[in-house]
Amino acid sequence: MSSTTSTQEQGDGKFHFAIDRGGTFTDVHCKLPNGAELVSKLLSVDPANYDDAPTEGIRRLMDEHDPTGKKYPRGEVVDTSLIGSIRMGTTVATNALLEREGERMGLVITKGFGDLLKIGDQTRSDIFDLTCKAPEVLYEEVVEIDERVMLSEFFDENKSEEEIELLEQKSQLVQSSDSQDHWYSSNWPDAGVGKRIAGVTGEKVIPLRCPDADEIRASLQKLADKGIQSIAVVFLHSYVYPEHETMVGDIAKSMGCFSEISLSHEVMSMVKLVPRGHTACAAAYLTPKITEYLAGFTKGFDDGLMTNVQLDFMKSDGGLTPVNDFGGHQAILSGPAGGVVGYAKTSYRPSLDEDGNVVNKPIPVIGFDMGGTSTDVSRYDGTLELVFETTTAGVSIQAPQLDIHTVAAGGGSRLFLQNGLFVVGPESSKAHPGPVCYRKNGYLSVTDANVVLGRVIPAHFPSIFGPNEDEPLDLDGARAAFQALAEKNEAAKGRTLEELAYGFVQVANEAMCRPIRNLTQMRGFDITKHALACFGGAGPQHACAMARALGITKVYVHRYGGILSAYGLSMADAVVEEQEPSAVVYAVAKNDASGFDEDQDPSASIREARLEHLAEKARSTLMKQGYSRESIVIEKYLNMRYQGTDNAIMIKESKNANVQLPYAKTFVEQYHREFGFDLEGRDLLIDDMRVRAFVPGATLTPPPAVPLIGPPPPAGSTRAYFENGWETVSTYSFDDLTPGHEIKGPAILFQSISTIVLEVDCIALVTADGDLDITVAPKKNDNDTKFDHGKEEEEVEIKEDPVQLSIYAHRFMGIAEQMGRTLARTAISVNIKERLDFSCALFTSDGGLVANAPHIPVHLGAMQSAVRFQVEYWNSEGREGIKEGDVFVANHPQLAGGSHLPDITVITPVFHEGKILFFVAARGHHSDIGGISPGSMPPHSTILKEEGARIVAFKLVKDGKFQEDGITDILVNQEFGGTRNLKDNLSDLRAQVAANNSGIRLLQQLVKDNGLANVEAYMHFIQHNAEMAVRKMLKDFASKHGKRAHAIDYMDDGTPIELTVDIDPLTGSACFDFEGTGPQILGNINAPPAVTYSAVIYSLRSLVGQDIPLNQGCLTPIEFKIPPFSLLNPSDDVGVVGGNVLTSQRVVDVVLKAFKACAASQGCMNNLTFGDDRFGYYETIAGGAGAGPTWDGRSGVHTHCTNTRITDPEILERRYPVLLRRFGLRTGSGGAGMHTGGDGVVREIEPLRPLVMSILSERRCLRPYGLEGGEGGKTGRNLLIKKGGIVLNIGGKRSGSINVGERLVIESPGGGGYGERSPTPP
């Protein structure tokens, strides 16, 4: 199918193609030899009719429009003599990554880190998935090379020149040992021994051990012998010292048996070993697939394709690159990038009057690209917004990429009714078999809903379906599929097929609105001051409704909106990027912390020289591609951060020559907008220098305003379903529209490549260019009056509607998630900002949990106790009550619903007209709040006050004023020492208040949009929905296993945790009785009741096994019986810091054991703190996950009650005085069974100056249990390696000094196995 639009531009006698090969459709934009434009769309996968969609699209258009009348038969090689250029965006790399169908490859990595990329940041993507499933790593084999480089800064900081010279001389005696390694790395070289060499950044490095060429060659040969021809080489600190990687690369090339050699420092020379390693692997894994695809593509053409045709591919950063320079890691967003360029060039334009004068400046635009498989959203405000680290299909990619947010909701997203909720995606029907209406025995999908509703009209959609590619969309088949769904689901009861389909469209719209809100609101942008640029084949069917839901009043639909990604390719820039790491100071903070010293510019000479070097390198590359020097534009960037933080921001060079330290000014402005505050008194550092050289693509002239000429004559009419039901509406053909035409909705406009649904009260104006400028009237409601409680009482009872329930579930969770993003954005501490150790939640006016974003599981449900305590406390007799402008803070575990003292909860009431409507709360782990040891996680505390400041109830904000003096007094004046980091405490508390304020604003907007009565009603409905899902799970369990369940497990000191569950099989109610649990102990593994509630709500949510709202309803069916003064209900003065991080894990293990769900996971968080009087550091360490009935346990992952990240090895060594000797899997530590438990990890750390290290851990004596005959996992061990090789087992809980040359080895437990092993054959 195709349509032609004449243009005034003269053709050059050649065909010029821009092609976007998407997951479902391939879109083609073609400029004909005479200059006319033509567009086409075809299925990306149609094996019965053609092998390659782009080739077929080119063939069809040339066959139809060759000016000489020449024919191009299918199956014959295409003559390229009339082809001038081909530009392509492709999902080949993305699909290969998603489906793990890349090239077989091997990973070559520093010794001791062979499992690092498998462990990653140790988190799991779905905290409630007991399988902890994760995408497979890309590499097939791993080779560890005995090489090591360390940074010298911390080791040398107090050493004299003579001492350093002796260490350099000593290095000559160090030789690579060929003896068998001991498990504790006894033959590894001493820290600090070796030559000091200036690296790429100017930082001094010490090559502790250089790789041996013979060892490298032998290791590579083993890979080659296994048929591996692609390798990625990833060495520690190669971004600053690449010589070792280069050596391996040279040897691999000389061997001649590797077709793809990816060196991490060449692929992306940035700090962070894990994402750089993943990126190198992606390049090695995907580039051969792209090469293979290109070979297949070129087979469809004659030899002139590679010699006479300009063949470019779109990179993830929105720039074009020649086919020979197109690497796999650059191709992840190749397809969506074209759409971003397309809407940026066509929608971000000033408004002109009829004489061409500027009336209004451009407004920011949100790109909404709804395809068949997923939806991409992005933002444009004059420049392409790039990010430099993203995660796709479990692989962290470190490369310039457009900031595109993807949600699994597209035209092909499958539709389900689950637990009374309408669910859209994330599963997709894909291009094959596709939706039901595609006539290929597909799945019920969003497209089917639009067909049933008359919003997609089969008569105006290409007839390309059926065995002969000549049948229309199958309306009857789609209706039958909805009928079948309705007949077997209670949630569809009483609904017509159209109401059912319309409900799914509404839920799909909300799912797609959610990332748009995140993209704007979480970054401080007003969503209502944007336009929505809609494209993609399915987008125009949803755009008007979504704009109204978002409060956006302008929607742009380009005349080529259905193929805008392809059209964007035709206008894209040719781009070359060059980048190198840096470690220099850009700006020096003033002594009085009042900004930067403008008289100092310490990096000036080296900065300008390096940026100009990169610019010339990039310019030269473009000139080799045939572009003139004069056509090339250079943009210079610095990747900058405040000293002591990890949040680097890429800053573009300012053209304002009158500003001192211009990069600093821009950085401070952007940092303040992004994070809400400034960090005074800190130097500004440069992490990377970057140059972007580009040749600008076509730029469109803004069209002048056009005089209105009224509505066009309709092409016909049709029945379509809108918000008020079926309506007979006019239909219009795009071909009949003239500039100045106005169309009032409801109406449907159709092209050969897209259908546009104009909703009720929307007006579309045809612009001078033939595009649609749609004005969306605000949502009609009288909800402002619904704030008035008196009027509410007169309203009719609100009945639960499954569609609205599904939409509110998205909205409530979206608000909690945005609170979390605000907290991470505005906090200062590593724990909250980078490890993400926090949770945010919404509550009803009585403190009932409505939505808890899935942040940290041990916080789930616990904050409800904290909120209800504050309500009761401040409203009790003699107290001052709760007033508008109050914000509460608390952390006391036993008295105030806390978990342990470092977890501080900030609670804010939401008022209207003097009445509390809701509460919002944010709980964050503070790095230090005093007590007997740094980090406030003492291994041997016995009473609560040894663990830090205790806050039962305090108004952190009173009458709108932050009570800094009062909270400072609480945090500092403690019997066993106050906080060691008050500045960070105060900053993080302010960030928690800011997070709550963001939740309040979003809740108030929700009430304004929908009415208070509706919001309150659906808060309770959503709780009831969760309750019913848990009751169903409990009844199902009782029917299979009986109405009583029992389990017992033990802490390492022998204290039992015993649980008996009695289930009412009729109602699904249950009593969780912990009678038999041991008494509270003289130690700190006592756990307050809130921790048990959190552990149980986490377990129940995991046992349900489907995505249900997470709220108080999960616990409504549960009665708790916890013996007083037991381990799980201790007195208010005993130590509990370990209960939150250790006992919580054991409670989950006991619950899951009682329900026969899976074997025990590691049962620990392995809490490690180290520091001195200058700094403190805290981390939790992964272990093995338990196996289950159908799965092996995952290795090296955080399980159950925690999900915090671990610091990247290069960041750890760059920021802290330690050397990470090893971080890998503890092979064989998982329990054996029919399904094997996951392995724990080994983490070996050596201090570079004397430090105090503390470890708080469990499962060092008693093994994680196996289930159903499976064996238990191995216990963990904590070892201290003394100088001389003496090994000390320091037990599960220990704090003490560790000196230079000594090493702490943490071996975390493995997970238990499940089921008996099959007998070994004789």
How many other C-beta atoms lie within 10 A of the C-beta of residue 1067?
11
CA separation, residue 14 to residues 7, 35, 606, 696 (Å): 15, 9, 48, 21
What is d(CA 1034, CA 1096) in angstroms, rounded to the nearest whole number?
Answer: 13
Q: Which residue has the higher pLDDT, 127 or 463?
A: 127
In this prediction the pTM is 0.86
Q: Please compute the mean of the pLDDT values over residues 1243-1247 and round it to a whole number.
A: 97
Query: What secondary structure letter does DSSP report for 329?
Result: G
- Given a cut of 50, whether residue 785 has pLDDT beyond it is no
User: Each residue of 429-452: b (16+ CB within 10 Å) or e?
Assistant: bbbeebbbbbbbebbbbbbbbbbb
Contact 336, 291 (CB under 8 A): no
Q: For tokens 């035409």, name the residue.
A: 741
- Given a cut of 90, whether residue 782 has pLDDT beyond it is no
Which segment, 399-413, 477-491, 647-661, 1294-1308, is predicted with the most confidence on average? 1294-1308
Question: What pLDDT score was predicted for residue 173?
Answer: 45
Question: What pLDDT score was predicted for residue 675?
Answer: 64
- Given a cut of 70, whether residue 789 has pLDDT beyond it is no
Q: What band does 1161 get if pLDDT is binned at 50, 70 and 90? A: very high
Question: What pLDDT score was predicted for residue 1247?
Answer: 96
Task: Name, in order, each residue with C-beta under 8 angstroms of 1051's C-beta and a sequence gap of 6 or more.
Answer: 1057, 1078, 1085, 1127, 1142, 1143, 1146, 1258, 1262
Omega of the bond prior to 662 within 30 degrees of 0, cis?
no
How many other C-beta atoms lie within 10 A of the C-beta of residue 468?
10
Q: What band does 357 get if pLDDT is binned at 50, 70 and 90? A: low
Contact 1260, 1162 (CB under 8 A): no
Question: What pLDDT score was predicted for residue 3?
Answer: 47
Question: What pLDDT score was predicted for residue 374?
Answer: 75
Q: What band does 668 get if pLDDT is binned at 50, 70 and 90? A: confident
3-state secondary structure of 1210: helix
Q: Please compute the mean of the pLDDT values over residues 862-890 and round it to a whole number.
A: 90
Q: Which residue has the higher pLDDT, 1226 or 933?
A: 1226
Contact 11, 359 (CB under 8 A): no
Tokens coding 95: 């699909």
Q: Please compute the mean of the pLDDT values over residues 94-113 and round it to a whole number.
A: 90
How many other C-beta atoms lie within 10 A of the C-beta of residue 1267?
26
Q: Using CB atoms within 10 A of its CB, is residue 66 exposed (0-12), middle (13-18) or buried (19+)?
A: middle
pLDDT above 70 covers what percent of the chain?
95
Q: Please compute the mean of the pLDDT values over residues 1237-1256 and round it to a whole number.
A: 96
| Least confidently predicted of 49-58, 645-654, 826-835 | 826-835
Tokens coding 881: 């009550």
Tokens coding 249: 């690369």
What is d(CA 511, CA 413) in angstroms, rounded to the nearest whole number?
Answer: 11
How many other C-beta atoms lie within 10 A of the C-beta of residue 735?
13
Alpha-carbon Rg for the chain, nearest whole angstrom, is 32
Q: Among residues 304, 239, 289, which one has the least CA distance to residue 265?
A: 239
Question: What pLDDT score was predicted for residue 488?
Answer: 82
For residues 355, 359, 363, 366, the Cα torsion angle rounded to the nearest 10 degrees is -40
Question: What pLDDT score was predicted for residue 657?
Answer: 62
What is d(CA 972, CA 953) in angstroms, rounded to the nearest whole number?
Answer: 17
Q: Please compute the mean of the pLDDT values over residues 391-400 and round it to a whole number.
A: 80
Q: Using CB atoms within 10 A of its CB, is residue 605 exposed (0-12), middle (13-18) or buried (19+)?
A: exposed
Q: What band does 181 get if pLDDT is binned at 50, 70 and 90? A: very low
Question: What pLDDT score was predicted for residue 184?
Answer: 47
Please give the sequence-ordered ranges of beta strands (E in DSSP) within 1029-1084, or none if there are none: 1044-1050, 1056-1063, 1070-1073
Question: What pLDDT score was predicted for residue 4?
Answer: 45
- Given a cut of 60, whether residue 784 has pLDDT beyond it is no
Contact 235, 109 (CB under 8 A): yes
Q: Please compute the mean of the pLDDT values over residues 748-766 and round it to a whole number.
A: 88
Could you give the count of Cα atoms lying within 13 Å of 1001 in the half-sphere of its Cβ? 14
- Given a cut of 50, whether residue 588 has pLDDT beyond it is yes
Question: What pLDDT score was predicted for residue 424?
Answer: 85
pLDDT above 90 covers what percent of the chain?
51
Write the single-letter amino acid at 991: A
Question: What pLDDT score was predicted for residue 210?
Answer: 93
Q: Please compute the mean of the pLDDT values over residues 225-253 and round it to a whole number.
A: 96
| Least confidently predicted of 350-354, 758-762, 1115-1119 | 350-354
Question: What pLDDT score was predicted for residue 601?
Answer: 86
3-state secondary structure of 33: coil
Question: What pLDDT score was predicted for residue 719?
Answer: 94
Question: What pLDDT score was predicted for residue 796?
Answer: 63
Question: What pLDDT score was predicted for residue 677?
Answer: 64
Tokens coding 398: 């470190």
Q: What band does 48 get if pLDDT is binned at 50, 70 and 90? A: confident
Write the single-letter amino acid at 1256: L
- Given a cut of 60, whether residue 105 has pLDDT beyond it is yes
Contact 652, 840 (CB under 8 A): no
Question: What pLDDT score was predicted for residue 870?
Answer: 94
What is d(CA 30, CA 27) in angstroms, rounded to the nearest whole number?
Answer: 10
Q: What band does 1199 get if pLDDT is binned at 50, 70 and 90? A: very high
What is d(CA 135, CA 98) in angstroms, rounded to the nearest whole number?
Answer: 8
- Given a cut of 70, whether residue 676 has pLDDT beyond it is no
Contact 1303, 184 (CB under 8 A): yes
Question: What pLDDT score was predicted for residue 333?
Answer: 86
Tokens coding 1301: 């040359």
pLDDT digits (tens, 9 = 90+) for 66-91: 999 999 998 899 999 999 999 999 88
Contact 804, 655 (CB under 8 A): no
3-state secondary structure of 1205: coil
Could you give the count of Cα atoms lying within 13 Å of 759 in the half-sphere of its Cβ? 23
Contact 1252, 1208 (CB under 8 A): no
Question: What pLDDT score was predicted for residue 355?
Answer: 58
Please give the sequence-ordered ranges of beta strands (E in DSSP) within 1226-1286, or none if there are none: 1241-1247, 1251-1256, 1277-1281
Q: How remote is the C-alpha of 542 from its chain's centroid?
A: 25
- Concatenating the DSSP letter of every residue in 588-619 gives PBPTTSSSB-TT--TTHHHHHHHHHHHHHHHH
Write the single-letter amino acid at 1083: G
Phi, psi of 1014 (to 5 degrees): -65, -45
pLDDT digits (tens, 9 = 90+) for 2-29: 444 444 467 889 999 999 887 777 889 9
Question: What pLDDT score was predicted for residue 353?
Answer: 57
- Given a cut of 90, whether residue 1034 has pLDDT beyond it is yes
Phi, psi of 680 (to 5 degrees): -75, 150
What is d(CA 412, CA 427) in angstroms, rounded to the nearest whole number?
Answer: 9
| Least confidently predicted of 111-125, 538-552, 828-842 | 828-842
Write the single-letter amino acid at 1004: Q
Find the helix or strand (DSSP H, E) in which 195 lies: none
Find the helix or strand (DSSP H, E) in which 139 lies: none
What is d(CA 1237, CA 1226) in angstroms, rounded to the nearest whole number?
Answer: 12
Which segment, 426-435, 648-657, 680-689, is predicted with the most confidence on average? 680-689
Q: For tokens 């062979």, name the residue.
A: 114
Question: What's the sign of the alpha-carbon dihedral 797, 803, 809, 814?
Answer: negative
What is d(CA 459, CA 787) in angstroms, rounded to the nearest whole number?
Answer: 47
Q: Please compute the mean of the pLDDT values over residues 310-335 and round it to a whole number.
A: 88
Helices (H), 199-347: 213-225, 243-255, 264-267, 273-298, 304-308, 334-347
Q: Please compute the mean of the pLDDT values over residues 1297-1304 and round it to a whole number.
A: 94
Contact 1005, 1087 (CB under 8 A): no
CA separation, residue 842 to residues 584, 802, 925, 1003 (Å): 44, 21, 19, 9
